[in-house]
Amino acid sequence: MSAEAKKQTLGFETEVKHLLHLMIHSLYSNKEIFLRELISNGSDAADKLRFEALSNDSLYEGDSELKIRLAFDKENRTITIADNGIGMTRDEVQEHIGTIAKSGTKQFFEKLTGEQAKDSELIGQFGVGFYSSFIVADRVTLTTRKAGASKDEGARWESSGEGEYTLETISKEQRGTEIVLHLKAGEDEFLDGYRLRSIVRKFSDHISIPIIMTKEVVPSYKDEDDKEGEEAEAKDETPPQPEDETINSASALWTKARQDIKDEDYNEFYKHVSHDWQDPLVHVHSKVEGTNEFTLLLYVPSRAPFDLWDRNAKHGVKLYVRKIFIMDDAEQLMPRYLRFIRGIIDAGSLPLNVSREILQQSKQLSTIKSGAVKKVLGMLEGVAKNEPEKYEAFWKEFGQVIKEGPIEDHGNKERIAKLLRFASTHTNTDKQDVTLEDYVSRMQEGQDKIYYVTAESYAAAKNSPHLEIFRKKGIEVLLLSDRIDEWLISHLDEFDGKHLQSVAKGDLDLKTPEDEEAKKELEETAKDFESVITQIKEVLGDKVSEVKLSQRLTDSPACLVADVYGMSLNMERIMKDAGQGMGFGMNKKPIFEINPGHTLVARLKEEQDDARFADLTNILFDQAILSEGGQLDDPAAFVHKLNGLLQGLLK
Ligand SMILES: Nc1ncnc2c1ncn2[C@@H]1O[C@H](COP(=O)(O)OP(=O)(O)OP(=O)(O)O)[C@@H](O)[C@H]1O
């Protein structure tokens, strides 16, 4: 026996134990799903073999009828699930089984709180897969051999799910994977053919290869009189060959007509392709005719996957060609902003021998992609229109990703823009539920722009001094505080012919008659403030590009305004945080606007003492930074100056 053939005892990754514990507890009321998960794996293994065999027929080893066999043994209290799919090498077993080598796992564990209830919720986002065996079994034996490998290159893995597993090389006649579950005490309900059949029909009917069980001998109800004769007959006959039966409908779900598919079937298929254990939020099933004929069955999950923000996360759409699985993770099929979409696309017109390289440049595939994107957008539009509550749930989970849409997908910009939802001064809550269309319908007479403010948090946006004049005039402003918003807005400069305008950038031009009036008045006032403005400029030096009287303030004494062509101050901060080297200062300096109607500014005008003038000016400037959500370079100096003034009050 070679060294590696020896039995090894290996430890699970530390996280596995915790994960197993959580899974078992959160799934206990739904424990029959272990069967769905194992059958799902068997079906994936068959898909993989079928694809590999396209270019290497010998992998079938003369047996191309792919299937899954399910059996139970009452005496030994075991359930066996066996497939003749691709199988695994010993190394693959070590890599895939009992190890969580999925991207994003680490982040997932960081999110766990240790509180059972909360963590159970979270874990729903994490596929259960093979581990679900341990919900019902206290020992699991997996034997497998890779298709095309020699018979003595099989592997046996065994574990009781408690931190360790053994792995050894064995000889295995049949390629594929066989899993034996040694049931825990109390799980005997699964040692029942009727129960197993009904679970398969409920969860795995859509699996496209046959799931086979031995036909059970149904006791026949014959006349009492016949009984003796029958027994006598049975005695001298060898038992009849057990007969097989297929217990699922074994056809690719997406090839069926919509009206023949039940909601449960759609949901179970979703769980199979997505490895999610919750029902999806919504699906679209559609056949697109034409030269590039294809069928798609795509889903929106009800919860964001745990790796939604992981750059390396897998994409969720599988590519099939005429029912043959071609590949997972087909990033050519969905743009990044729809990366949460799960399901399949069956491209009838692609050749079967496509490779990843060919796909990358395939014109046909990009046509299919754009057709699929349109279907997905159509589905979302439908939900938004007809099922607003569902859309709200969708937006909560995926809104931030959809906001990448106008940046990534110019062709569909208008359509995506209509799917966006924002918080706004109209509703004054942090709930993002205002559409751009709603906004436009509420625009005031003469208003020709869609106004927004960006800030680091909803509170900072809502309380921004820049909103004062808008609130006073009852002009709605969108309150943007998601990180992505700055980028979104830089790519979405227009909606329905209306320019999107930051309230914190450039000159205000509200285009109303009162506005013109106010402007004139301000020009008059400005004459009075000329010398104050010059003095403020001297104090602030190159911290600002300009100082002027403000039209936007009613309650606050001062604010900062970004150059109309420059970055907003919020954007500058984001860039700085992201270490983009574009720190405060690289951008054009902000304009410092003061409110001539404010008592502090009036006080400044009267101030004779230069030192006090400088202190007050610096305080107003720092306050303006703070109310923008910015950070002070020297907070202690600010506090010191402020206290100086306050003490002055007490004298
Ligand atoms: N019957 C099988 N035949 C061949 N490979 C298998 C089989 N079962 C599992 N595997 C391999 O083990 C890996 C891990 O399986 P597991 O069920 O834990 O997770 P998964 O199916 O990848 O995803 P999830 O955990 O989200 O369900 C699979 O991706 C596959 O590579």
- Cα 539 from Cα 594, distance rounded (Å): 14
> How would you label 88-114 residue by residue, b for 16+ Cβ within 10 Å and e otherwise?
bbbeebbeebbbbebebbeebbeeeee
Flag whether pLDDT at 228 surpasses 60.
no
First to last CA, the chain: 95
Amino acid at 524: E
Centroid of ligand 1 to alpha carbon of 396 (angstroms)? 30
What separation in Å is there between the alpha carbon of 457 and the centre of ligand 1?
41
| 356 assigned ligand-binding residue | yes
Q: Tally Cβ neighbours within 10 Å of residue 338.
A: 27
**Is 126 annotated to bind ligand?**
yes
Residue range 171-214, pLDDT digits in tens = 999 999 999 999 999 999 999 999 999 999 888 888 989 999 99
Q: What distance in Å separates the CA atoms of residue 399 and residue 392, rounded to the nearest whole number?
A: 9
Task: Give tens-digit pLDDT for 281-323.
Answer: 999 999 998 888 999 999 999 998 877 887 777 778 999 988 8
Q: Which residues contact 247 (CB under 8 A, 6 or more apart)?
A: 70, 197, 200, 201, 211, 212, 213
Q: Which of 37, 41, 142, when mutated, tests ligand 1's pocket best, judged by the most ligand atoms within 8 Å of its CB?
A: 41
Mean pLDDT of 335-355: 88
Q: Tell me, rounded to whole angstroms, the distance of Cα 609 from its chain centroid.
A: 59
What is the rounded distance in angstroms from the CA atom of residue 35 to the CA atom of residue 43? 12
The confidence score (pLDDT) of residue 279 equals: 93
Domain with CATH 3.40.50.11260 in the chain: 421-502
Ligand 1 atom 13: residue of nearest CA: 96
Who lines ligand 1 at CB under 6 A?
A: 41-42, 45, 83, 85-88, 96-97, 127-130, 177, 275
Query: Measured on CA atoms in the order 638, 639, 642, 643, is the torsion positive or negative?
Result: negative
Predicted confidence at residue 384, as pLDDT, reads: 97
User: Beta 546-549 vs 591-594: how paired, if at all?
Assistant: parallel
The mean pLDDT of 355-370, rounded to a whole number, is 81
* Cβ count near 298 (within 10 Å): 27
Candidate from 33, 50, 96, 108 with most ligand 1 atoms within 8 A of CB, to mutate: 96
Q: Which atom in ligand 1 lies closest to the alpha carbon of residue 83?
A: 1
Average pLDDT over residues 593-616: 91
Cα of 130 from ligand 1 centre, angstroms: 6
C-alpha angle 163-165-166 in degrees, rounded to nearest 5:
155
**Span 491-499, average pLDDT:** 93
Q: How far apart are CA 134 and CA 129, in angstroms?
A: 11
List the residue whose alpha carbon is closest to atom 17 of ligand 1.
129
Dist CA 144 CA 154 (whole Å): 6
Strand 494-495, strand 477-480: pairing: unpaired
Q: Is 102 annotated as a binding residue?
A: yes
Nearest alpha-carbon partner for 498 in 423, 444, 551, 462: 444
Q: What pLDDT, on the 0 to 100 scale, is given for residue 582?
A: 45
- The CA distance from 262 to 204, in Å, is 13
Cβ distance 549 to 559 under 8 Å? no
Atom number in ligand 1 closest to CA 102: 22
Q: pLDDT: is 52 or 332 the higher one?
A: 52
Tell me if 88 is assigned to a ligand binding site: yes
Greater confidence (207 vs 359) lies with: 207
User: Which residues make Cβ contacts (< 8 Å) with residue 371, sequence separation at least 6?
Assistant: 288, 292, 294
Torsion angle of C-alpha atoms 437, 443, 445, 449, degrees rounded to 10 = -90
Average pLDDT, the chain: 86
Taking a C-beta distance cutoff of 8 angstroms, is the pair 182, 158 a contact?
no
Q: Could you tell me the distance, in angstroms and rounded to a whole number, from the CA of residue 39 to the centre of ligand 1? A: 10
What are the start and end residues of each CATH 3.30.230.80 domain in the chain?
A: 253-385
Backbone angles phi, psi at 295, to 5 degrees: -115, 140
CATH code: domain 3-217+241-246 is: 3.30.565.10
H helices within 62-152, ranges in order?
A: 90-96, 105-111, 116-123, 133-136
What secondary structure does DSSP assign to 565-602, as a single string?
Answer: TS--HHHHHHHHHTT-S--TTTSPPPEEEE-TTSHHHH
Mutate-to-test residue for ligand 1 from 130, 141, 174, highest number of ligand atoms within 8 A of CB: 130
Question: Is 607 marked as a binding-site residue?
Answer: no
Nearest-atom number in ligand 1 for the CA of 86 is 4
Cα-to-centroid distance, 129 and ligand 1 (Å): 6
Q: Ligand 1 centre from 296 Cα, in Å? A: 24
41 is in an annotated binding site: yes
**Structure tokens that stand for 325 in this block:** 């699985």
Give the per-residue pLDDT at 62: 94
**Residue 96 CA to ligand 1 centre (angstroms):** 7
Ligand 1 atom nearest to CA at 126: 26
Name the superfamily (CATH) of residues 513-650. Answer: Heat shock protein 90, C-terminal domain (1.20.120.790)
Closest protein CA for atom 9 of ligand 1: 41
Highest mean pLDDT out of 32-41, 196-205, 398-407, 580-589: 398-407
529 appears as a binding residue in the annotation: no
| pLDDT, greater one: 616 or 234 | 616
Q: Which of 44, 86, 128, 342 to mutate to test the pocket of ligand 1 (most atoms within 8 A of CB)?
A: 44
Collapse the DSSP code of 69 into the 3-class scheme (helix H, G, I; strand E, B; otherwise coil) and give the result. Answer: strand
Could you give the residue range(s) of every CATH 3.30.565.10 domain in the chain? 3-217+241-246
Residue of minimum CA distance from atom 27 in ligand 1: 129
Question: What helix, strand, coil percent values describe the chain, rounded to 5?
Answer: 45, 20, 35
Please report how the helices 263-274 and 33-55 are oriented relative to each other, as an axis angle in degrees rounded to 10. 70
Fold of 421-502: Rossmann fold (3.40.50)
For residue 360, count CB atoms less than 10 angstroms from its CB and return exposed for 0-12, middle for 13-18, buried for 19 or more.
exposed
Does the pLDDT at position 649 exceed 90? no
Residue 34 CA, ligand 1 centroid: distance in Å? 13
DSSP string, 9-28: EEEPPHHHHHHHHHHHHHTG
Number of Cα atoms under 13 Å in the Cβ half of residue 381: 12
Q: Tell me the Cα Rg of the chain.
A: 34
Tell me: is residue 118 an annotated ligand-binding position.
Answer: no
**DSSP 8-state assignment for residue 443:** P
Distance from the CA of 247 to the center of ligand 1, in angstroms? 23
Residue 85 CA: nearest ligand 1 atom is 3
- The CATH class of 253-385 is alpha beta
Q: What is the pLDDT of residue 130?
A: 87
Mean pLDDT check: name the lowest of 13-27, 432-446, 468-482. Answer: 13-27
The answer for residues whose C-beta is within 8 angstroms of residue 643's C-beta and 6 or more apart is none
Length of the chain, in residues: 651
Nearest CA to ligand 1 atom 10: 41
Phi-psi region of 350 (alpha: psi -120 to 50; beta: other; left: phi over 0): beta
Cβ proximity of 60 and 51 under 8 Å: no
Q: Which two tokens stand for residue 600?
A: 């502090």
What's the rounded Cα separation, in Å, for the pair 51 and 36? 22
pLDDT for 93: 94
Is 83 labeled as ligand-binding?
Answer: yes
For the stretch 73-115, pLDDT in tens is 999 999 999 999 999 999 999 888 866 545 556 666 777 776 7
Greater confidence, 153 or 350?
153
- Among 97-106, 239-248, 631-640, the minimum mean pLDDT is found in 97-106
The pLDDT, as a whole number, for residue 186 is 93
pLDDT at site 95: 85
pLDDT bin (cut points 50, 70, 90) of residue 69 is very high
Protein residue closest via CA to atom 31 of ligand 1: 96
Mean pLDDT of the 130-156 span = 94
CA of 85 to the centre of ligand 1 (A): 12
Concatenating the DSSP letter of every residue in 309-327 gives T-TTPPP-EEEEETTEEEE
Between the CA of 284 and the centroid of ligand 1 the distance, in Å, is 26
Q: What is the pLDDT of residues 534-579, one digit of tens each?
A: 999 999 998 898 999 988 888 899 999 887 666 777 777 777 776 6
CA distance 563 to 587: 9
Distance 91 CA to ligand 1 centre (A): 14
Does residue 507 register a pLDDT over 70? yes
Higher pLDDT residue, 476 or 312?
Answer: 476
CA of 548 to the centre of ligand 1 (A): 65
Q: Is 177 annotated as a binding residue?
A: yes
Residue 45 and residue 176 in contact, taking contact as beta carbons nearer than 8 Å? yes
Helix axis angle, 635-650 relative to 610-627, nearest 10°?
A: 120
Which DSSP helix (H) or strand (E) runs through 35? helix 33-55
On whether 422 is known to bind a ligand per the annotation, the reply is no
- 369 belongs to an annotated ligand binding site: no
Nearest CA to ligand 1 atom 8: 41
Ligand 1, atom 14, residue with closest C-alpha:
96
